[in-house]
Amino acid sequence: MDTLTDDLCYQALKTRDARFDGRFYTAVLTTGIFCRPICPAVTPKRGNVRFYPSAETAMANGFRPCLRCRPEAAPGSPASAGAHTTWQRAVRLVEEGALDTGSVANLAERLGITDRYLRQLYKRHTGVSPQQHAHARRLLRARQLIVDSNLSMTEIADIAGFSSLRRFNHTLKEAYGNAPTAFRRGSKHLKSRATSSPEDPFLPARDDLALFLRARPPFDAEGLLAFFRARAIPGLEAVGDRYYARSLYIGEQPGLVICRPLTDPPGVQVILRGPARRAILEVSARLRRLFDLDADLPGITSHLAQDPLLRPLVEQHPGLRVPGCWDRFEFAMRAILGQQISITAARTLAGRLVASHGTPLPDELVAGTGITHRFPHPVDVARQPLTNMGLPGSRAATLARVAAQFAEPGFTELDSTTLLEQLAPVRGVGPWTLNYLALRGLGDPDAFPASDLGILKASALLGGPTDAKALTHYAERWRPWRAYAAQYLWTSLANHPSRQETTS
């Protein structure tokens, strides 16, 4: 809400401007209900509304979610994108369930602050306490799982953090005005637990968890699959014409996730297989970042299209996303392996790293998929020799040094700025690696690896600057969305037969 006044919010509400979906919520005093700005309901009078930066804040102030526009399905929220890095980390950890099993004091300790200061941060940004935010989060996530997953009510109550099914039913009826089963009857995306054929292990099986993650339109599903297909690590990932699959471990519980990006409706159908299915809330949060589902594409593209260099690319690729990563450490290793070599060579080296240092997965979980291992732990890379991978000695040493950093307790949870500052002095980690890690590994929308050979080649082919210094200066006009500009430039090389990208 820092950049949106109440009057601007009301103007967006009157026009139902989709660019503001997820950026604020409208609470109606006369009904006690709050909505997304795209809600088809009749626009209330100006004096009857209040505006809030998040669904959690609206709920904590006594308003109920609208049953038509479903605030829990809205992309993103400024409540999770504030300027304060500690606040950003706190919200991310709460969104991933930190207060479901731990206390506010435990969360504050992880953040390196006092619990009193954490409560002050919450009060300043949302007007509610961390516990109120976590409670609202449980309600919102529970309703999402009811509508968009095939879990039973008992499973949803357990995953969402309710002590009993009775408590779950009572709380949701009190919050939403209806019993939980009423929402499931109207679901359009619920998938049955049909058994897949042995010939296609990427279709839903009887015990799989199915979930639908919505995206703000437009959504370039084919572009994302093409990007992941070119970079899929053998043994860790598999990408087909309509799916992206990978291994995962959550709390040492193995799993296989299969994602099917769709354009109608825009979003990703998710199949989660194995013991890790209990961690569906954390998995869905990671997938939203991996597929960049919360991006405000209309606002970003309208800004970038003002530049004549990018305008044709914006028009050719509606819905283009910046692919994220599953895990920060994994992506740091990929970025280092991809230094100054082709995509094909980088994925070959990454496959060797997975095969030699990763943990094998149970055969019954991944049979027929070609996926065999999880990605290695940082300590496995830091302490074991990397001499059998065909790497130069200097590159192997850089991998080990960075892995040792990530093996330090709490390092992976550092805010983006601090993490990059601590990696910068590491020998073998240069500006390209840091910028690329920021772009995809940390989700910085303004990161820009200007020295990347692929970006420079794309710029030259389009008649733009041909050296990193000049391109850095030119790219000032793309801020604060330079990461998306970089993605457009990389994508433009797909139509050039002599491309030689160097990003992993």
d(CA 475, CA 9): 30
Helix axes 104-111, 130-148, angle to 10 degrees: 100
Catalogue the E-assigned strands of 94-145: none
For residue 49, the SS3 value is strand
**Single-letter residue type at 313:** L
Among the options 9, 21, 35, 66, which is catalytic? 35
List Cα–Cα distances, 136 to 91, 143, 159, 172, 471, in angstroms. 13, 11, 14, 11, 45
d(CA 94, CA 165): 22
Cis bond before residue 218 (omega within 30° of 0): yes
Number of neighbours of residue 284 by Cβ within 10 angstroms: 24
d(CA 128, CA 59): 10
**Residue 220 in contact with residue 319, Cβ under 8 Å?**
yes
**Residue 215 in contact with residue 263, Cβ under 8 Å?**
no
Q: What sign has the CA pseudo-torsion 294, 296, 297, 303?
A: negative
Backbone φ and ψ of 497, nearest 5°:
-65, -25
Q: Which of 500, 498, 504 is nearest to 395 (CA)?
A: 504
As a residue count, the chain comes to 504
Any catalytic annotation for residue 66? Answer: no
Among the options 208, 220, 292, 452, which is catalytic? 452
Q: How far is CA 221 from the centre of its chain?
A: 15
**Residue 433 in contact with residue 133, Cβ under 8 Å?**
no
**Single-letter residue type at 116:** R
Contacts of 116 (CB under 8 A, 6+ apart): none
Any catalytic annotation for residue 35? Answer: yes
d(CA 283, CA 96): 9
- Annotated active-site positions, please? 35, 452
